Structure 1
Amino acid sequence: MNVKLLKNLAFLGLLSFSVFPSFALSKIIPDGTIPYNMGVQLKGDTDGPEDLDRVQELGMKWVRRGFIWESIEREKGVYDFSQYDRFVNDCEKRGLKIIGCMAFSNKLYGHVKDEPARSAYADFAAELVKHYKGRNIIWEIWNEPNTMTFWGRHGKVGNSPQYAREYTDLVRAAVPAMKKANPDCVILAGSVSNMWSESYKWMSYCFADGMLDIHWDIWSVHPYGVKAPEDYMEAYSHTRNLMKKAGGDTGRLWINSERGFPLGKAEGYAGGDPSLAYEYQAWHVIRQYLVDLLEGLLVTIWYEWGGKEGFALYRAGNMTPAYNACKTFVKELSGYKLDCRMKTENKRDFVLRFIDKNGNEKLVAWTAPGVMESPDKIVPHSIKIAVGDVSPRLVTTDLYGRTDIVEVSNGVIEPCLTGAPVYITLR
C-alpha cells in the first residue's frame, strides 16, 4: 500500500483516515509514478486489439468503456459476458486497467428509476463484479445520470431533485448487491456531467438524499462546463465544500472519468480562434492530466481515443497534435512523481516540480487564462524561477519534444510561459 500517497491525499483533504480504504481499494491506489494516472475513453468501435496496442504504446495505463446491460442480459436472468471477456483479456495482456461503466436501462425491465428495473440492475451489477472478480476493473454506476441524455427525458429537466433521488436510490440498491457478490469490488458513484451551478445543485440533492452514507468507494466527475483545466480547481473545491456541508463520509477519493476539449464548436469547446483548435486541444490534454495530478485525483480519462466528435487523440489513422503532446509528456515524465507546485506571483502561472527515484528533477511550467476565459486570452510572459545550484544552461523541451536552452543567472531562470506546458530539466 502506498502510505505516502495516502498521507498526501489526507493532507489535501481528499482522504479521511477515519475511513481507511479497503484492501481492494488500496490495491489500485498507484504510487504516483507517471504515467499511472493517464487514461482514455474507448467505445465499441475502438476497443479492438489494434487500438489497445496503440493506447499501450502511447503509455496510457487506464481505459474506460461501457459494459452495456442490454448487450449482456438479452434474456431475463441469463448473462452473456463473451464480448466483454475478449476486451478484458486484451486489456490485461497489455497491462491496461479498466473503468467499467455499467450502463444503461434494459427494455426487459424498463427504466432503472422504477421497480423491477432497479433491482434487476443491481442483480446485473452484482453478476458483473462476481464474473470479473480479481481483474483490474473498477465499476462506475451509470454515465452522467444528472442529464436527460443519459437518464431519460421524464419529469422535470435534468439536474432536478427528482433525478438526484432516482439515481441515489439506484446507487443504494446496487452497492450492497455488488459488495455482497464481491466484497473486494471497487465502485465509483456520481459520474456527474458538468461542473456548473445546476450540476452543483444536483450533487447537493444527492448528498441530501443520503448519497454520502452509501458505501461506494470513489466519486467520479466529468468536469465539462469550464474553459480550461485550471478551472477544475475551483470546481473541485466547491464540490468538496458541498460534501462537507452535507455531512456524511467525505473522505473518499476522486476520479475524473471523462473530459475532453474538442475541436470546432462541439460541446465543450473552449473557444478562441478555430484555426488554433488543434493547438489548444494539445495544451488542454496535458494540462488536464497535470491539474488532476495536482488536485490528487487517482485517474484522468481523456474523452476520447477515437471517434468523429472532435475529441479524438487518434483520428482516422493519424496522430493528432494532442496525441503527440501526450507522447512527449510520457517520454519526459515517465518514472517521475509530482513533488510540489512552486510558488508564483500570479496564481494562474503554474510551475510543478517532479522528482524520480534517482533524485533527478524536472519542472513543468505554463500559464492559464483567467477563470472561465478562453485560451486566446492567455498573454505569454516571462517569470523568474529559482532553481538553485544547477548547470548554467538548462535543456527545455516543448509540447512536441523540440528542445532548446534556457540560461541560468544567479540561480534563476526566466522562461516565457504560454498555454503550452514546457519541460525544464534541472538535474
Structure 2
Amino acid sequence: MGLLVPATAHAAKRQVPRGWLGVVADGPLNDPAYAQGPAEWDKMATSGVEAVRTAFYWRSIEPTAGQYDFSVKDQLVLAAAKRGLGVLPVIQGTPDWAARTAGDPASPPRDLADFARLMTALVTRYGPNGSLWLEHPEVAKQPIRAWQIWNEPNLTRYWNVAPWAPSYVALLKTADKALKAADPGSQTVLAGLPNESWKALEAIYKAGARGSFDVVTLHPYTGKVENTVRVVKIVRRVMERRKDAKMPIWVTELSWPASAGKAKQEGGDFATTDAGQASRLDAALKLFAKERKALRVERLYWYTWLSVEGITASGFDYSGLRRVRNGVLQDSPALTVFTRAARRLQGCPKVVADARRCRT
C-alpha cells in the first residue's frame, strides 16, 4: 500500500511509540450494511489509527464444542495486518454449551479447561507461528501477542457471578497458563475495569491474581478530562502497593458520547455535544501524551471508531469518530481532532495509508 506523502517529508519527531493510539473496532464496523469493507479500514489507517481493539466472542468462534470458526476474525485480522495495525482481541462471551448458565451472555464458563483450549487455538491461529500467516504469505505477518481476558467483569452485564473477583481470577490464571505455554512471549492483559476501577483491581489482587497478568487496563469514564488521568494515578498507587509498580497500564476505552439531548444520560456531565466531544478528545490526548511516561500508560484506545446514532437507547451510539446518521455514514467533528493529534504525536506532517510507514 503506497505512501500518501514522500518519505523524506517525515522530519518531525515521534512523541509516542508506534501503536500507542488506537480505536475500538466493534459493532457496525463488522456489519457490511454500514461499513464499506476495505474502504473503512483505509479510512481508519489514513486517520492515524495504529491499533485496534476488538471483541473475539467465544460463542461465535466455537459455537459447538471443539469446532472452531475463524472466518470472520480472519478477515478482521488480515484487514488490520495489511495496513500495519496491531490487534488487541478481547476474549469474552461464553457459548451456551460451555456456560454455567446457558442463555445468559454474562455467564462465565463451567469448565475452565474449555477456556484454556480456546486460548491455545487462538494462539495457534493468530500467534507468531499462526496458521493464518502460513495461509496468507502475501500479507506481512502481524502476529497477535497480547490477549485481553474478558471485558468489565466487575459489571453484572458481563459477569453474572457474585462475588465476581475470585471466579474471574480463576479464569485469568487459566488463560495466562495456556497463553504462556502456547507463546512464551505473549502478554496476558487484564480485563478493562470501569467505574471505581482501583477497588476492582484491589479485589483482583486479593483474589490472588498477582503474577497471572502482564498489563492492567482501565476504562476511566468520567465527565472531566483531568479526572481520567486522576483515575490512572489512583490505580497506579494500588499497583505500587502490590509490588507491580513497573507494570504498564493500557487505557482500552476512553470516550465522551456526543449524546446530550439525544439519548439517555450516562451519568453526570459525561454526555456532551459534538463540539464538546471533539474538545475533550483533544484535551485528553494532549494530557495522556504528557503523562504517559510518568504513569507508564503504554496504549490508549478511543471508544469507538464507528457507531450508529439511535440504534439502541445507549448514549454510546453517539461515541463514534465515524457515525451513521439517518442512514448516512459521515465523519464526526472529533475525527478531525483525532487525525490532527495523530499527525502530531506520530511525527507525520500527513497521515499515511500504512501505519508502519510513519516513522522518523
TM-score by length of 1: 0.64
Q: Does 1:305 align with 2:313?
A: no
- Counterpart secondary structure, 1:102: strand
The aligned counterpart of 1:370 is none
RCO (CA 8 Å, sep 6+): is it higher in 1 or 2? 2
Offset, 1:333: 4.2
Letter in 2 for 1:325: V
**Equivalent residues of 1:69, 1:104 under 8 A apart:** yes
Q: Distance in 2 between matches of 1:166 and 1:293?
A: 35
Q: Does 1:259 align with 2:254?
A: yes
* Structural mapping, 1:282-301, within 5 Å: 282-296=278-292, 297-301=297-301
The aligned counterpart of 1:410 is none
The aligned counterpart of 1:78 is 67
The structure-2 alpha-carbon separation of the partners of 1:270 and 1:63, relative to structure 1 and needing over 3 Å to count, comes to farther
**Equivalent residues of 1:64, 1:100 under 8 A apart:** yes
After TM superposition, the runs of 4+ consecutive aligned structure 1 residues lying more than 3 A away are: 31-36, 111-115, 265-270, 331-334
Letter in 1 for 2:217: S
**Equivalent residues of 1:222, 1:259 under 8 A apart:** yes
The aligned counterpart of 1:125 is 119
The aligned counterpart of 1:219 is 216
* Structural mapping, 1:12-411, within 5 Å: 32-33=15-16, 36-47=19-30, 48-111=37-100, 113=108, 115-116=110-111, 118-134=112-128, 135-137=142-144, 138-152=146-160, 154-155=161-162, 162-194=163-195, 196=196, 199-214=197-212, 216-224=213-221, 226-245=222-241, 247-265=242-260, 266=264, 268=266, 271=269, 277-296=273-292, 297-308=297-308, 309-316=317-324, 317-335=329-347
Offset, 1:123: 1.5
Offset, 1:303: 0.5
**Equivalent residues of 1:39, 1:62 under 8 A apart:** yes
Aligned residues: 292
Percent identity over paired residues: 25
Q: Distance in 2 between matches of 1:244 and 1:34?
A: 24
Higher strand share: 1
- Counterpart secondary structure, 1:151: coil
> Can you list the C-alpha shifts for 1:251-297, whole angstroms capped at 9, x where unaligned?
2111111121002345546629x8x7111100122222232223321
Larger Rg: 1
Please, which runs of 5 or more residues in structure 1 have no aligned partner? Answer: 1-30, 156-161, 337-355, 358-427
Q: Distance in 1 between matches of 2:211 and 2:91?
A: 21
The structure-2 alpha-carbon separation of the partners of 1:125 and 1:34, relative to structure 1 and needing over 3 Å to count, comes to closer
Offset, 1:85: 0.9
Offset, 1:148: 0.7
Offset, 1:203: 1.6
**Equivalent residues of 2:98, 2:109 under 8 A apart:** no
Q: Distance in 2 between matches of 1:284 and 1:315?
A: 18
The aligned counterpart of 1:22 is none
TM-score by length of 2: 0.75
The structure-2 alpha-carbon separation of the partners of 1:321 and 1:167, relative to structure 1 and needing over 3 Å to count, comes to same
**Equivalent residues of 2:91, 2:148 under 8 A apart:** yes
Q: Distance in 1 between matches of 2:320 and 2:76?
A: 20
Offset, 1:122: 2.0
> Can you list the C-alpha shifts for 1:376-410, whole angstroms capped at 9, x where unaligned?
xxxxxxxxxxxxxxxxxxxxxxxxxxxxxxxxxxx
Please, which runs of 5 or more residues in structure 2 have no aligned partner? Answer: 1-13, 31-36, 101-106, 129-141, 309-316, 349-358
